[in-house]
Amino acid sequence: LDRCTRGVIGLGDIGSRVAKVASSFGMRVVGCRNTVSAVPEGVEIVWPLEEVGSLLEESDYVVNLLPSTPQTRGLLGGGTLRAAKRGAVLINVGR
């Protein structure tokens, strides 16, 4: 996992913990959240949700932790996923 990039979509309590654990394995961690405020421990860059394509372009592993809301529904549709790195792994645990 060392030298891989983990993208975390949804940096709430759970996402922040996922980011911290990933960084402890030597992964570079980037994230997206509704509001770009304080950057959680272990996260290098945080983008607003509207820029999720930037996260996908850089990530070898992507974890989606977003709840299903009117704002998030369809966020990871086909057009958006085309921005992902070739061979990237998507782990969807959104609710």
Say if pTM beats, i.e. exceeds, 0.85: yes
pLDDT of residue 9: 96
pLDDT digits (tens, 9 = 90+) for 19-71: 999 999 999 999 999 888 788 899 999 999 999 999 999 999 999 999 999 98
In 10 A of CB 51, how many CB atoms? 13
Report angle CA 91, 31, 15 to the nearest 5 degrees: 60
